[in-house]
Amino acid sequence: MPELTPTLDAPATAAPIRPGETLRWAMFRALERLSDLRGNNTLGAFSVTPADASGPALWFYVTTIGELNAVAPMIEWLIAQRPDLRPVLITEHPHYRDAYLARLPQAVVCTSRGHSDDARRLARLLPPAMLAVAEIPCLPSEAPCRFSYAFLREARRHNAATLMLNGWLYHYDPPARLDQMERRLLERDFLNAFDVLCVQDAETARQLEARGAARERLRVTGNMKFDAMRRADWGVEQATRSPRLLGHLLASARPIVVGGCVTELPEQQQVLTAFERLRRTHPDALLILAPRHPENLERMGQLLGQLGEAGLRVMRRSQIEDAPLAAEVQCLVLDTVGELRDFYAAASVAHVGVDHNVLEPLGLNKPLTIRSGWDTTYPSYPVYRLLRDRGVLHECDDAASMCDYWLAAIERAPRIADDLRRTEEALASMRGSVARHQAACAPRIGR
């Protein structure tokens, strides 16, 4: 568990607006209008599904399905506390819409690239009584996504409670000139607009305080992912999109390797080479391979080309029904969005691509391999670092060592049981963040 710094109780009053905010906002809006005339690419992306949604709302900014899964227990708790509010999931990525609605059928999905006009349009349709920024970002344009100050400002105009959940810093520079100006003009206003800022560690809290966040509103709550990804009670009935397919895989005796978010071509090739070696002793083995961005047609083409060169009989999940998989299929490409975490349940052993979420398979008590070389700026890095430092991540940088570990997992070697025991002990010691988030946010959510 992270060291918790002492803090005051959550304030009963909303964060005050800083002097001069109106002028700074007017300056930014003038720059945004000028950018619009020059072809601002944040224009024209706004949509709401279902289109006729209306009424008081609970806004969540969760840009990807990964962020939604990472903070799901807290989102579900907030929804339960305020059943009078319609949950709205705000994202930049329209291809996540179906996965969001499968996860939260009662929700509204708003797609926006962060233009100020979008914030006003959303507020007219679904005025916010609460806003929760989940996982990222802690600063304007600080992550590879864009949550603009406009949405926070609109929430403050409606006297909404404003919460930062599971906050962490990427240390990215804003990618565009307008984003640079937004941070320069409005960074302190952005931080000041939150009633409560729940962050993963004390160093993040110190950095945000140095940049203008009020100390009394900061809470060091740990990383919620350690709670959210625990799925010891998972059952096939929870797989809303593939229950028959997964049920068949779970009942089969086939050795199954699930490779999640394996995106870079060299790592894909290493996984395929290790799988080829595995099939020498287990010819009936199945590889389930999930690329990071199945909507990227060029990368999908490259992956399918690699699979063809490997001589594997391949099926794509998007092209088959939810039905038992034919025995002759050697590789299932999981080219859908939002299903990977359920498919880990079928794994004899899992592999997670560099810079991605190791907790999804570990939360299902699955043996795991990874490669080294993780990027310190990725949101997966804090979890990777904590577990690496505890000695419970098995790094394999060549196909031979990867295959050896997979074989040990499939054959249930004693060292695998020891690895799983030590991993669960490490994970258990890091849980509890959801309860700390709830305690920090509870004073603000009922007004």
pLDDT single digits (tens) 295-354: 888 888 999 999 999 999 999 999 999 999 999 999 999 999 889 999 999 999 999 999
In the chain, what are the domain boundaries? 21-230+432-444, 236-429
Which pLDDT score, from 0 to 100, does residue 8 have? 40
Which pLDDT score, from 0 to 100, does residue 176 have? 87
Which pLDDT score, from 0 to 100, does residue 135 have? 75
State in words which class domain 21-230+432-444 has.
alpha beta
Which pLDDT score, from 0 to 100, does residue 447 have? 53
Residue keyed to tokens 């490669």: 371
What's the pTM? 0.86
Strand ordering across the sheet containing 368-369: 314-316, 331-333, 286-290, 256-260, 349-352, 368-369
Q: Determine the longest span between alpha carbons in the chain, in angstroms.
A: 70
- How far is 127 from 405, CA to CA, in rounded Å? 53
Phi-psi region of 332 (alpha: psi -120 to 50; beta: other; left: phi over 0): beta
Residues in the chain where the model's pLDDT stays below 70: 1-16, 447
Instruction: Using alpha carbons, select from 333, 334, 346 the residue that is nearest to residue 247.
Output: 346
Which pLDDT score, from 0 to 100, does residue 9 have? 46
Domain 236-429 matching CATH 3.90.1150.10: the answer reads: no
Query: End-to-end CA distance of the chain, in Å?
Result: 31
Indicate if the alpha-carbon torsion angle 144, 112, 290, 335 is positive or negative: negative
b/e 24-42 (16+ beta carbons within 10 angstroms → b): bbeebeeebeebeeeebeb
- How far is 287 from 346, CA to CA, in rounded Å? 11
Same fold, 21-230+432-444 and 236-429: yes
Rg of the chain's alpha carbons, rounded to an integer? 23
pLDDT single digits (tens) 350-387: 999 999 999 999 999 999 999 999 998 887 888 999 99
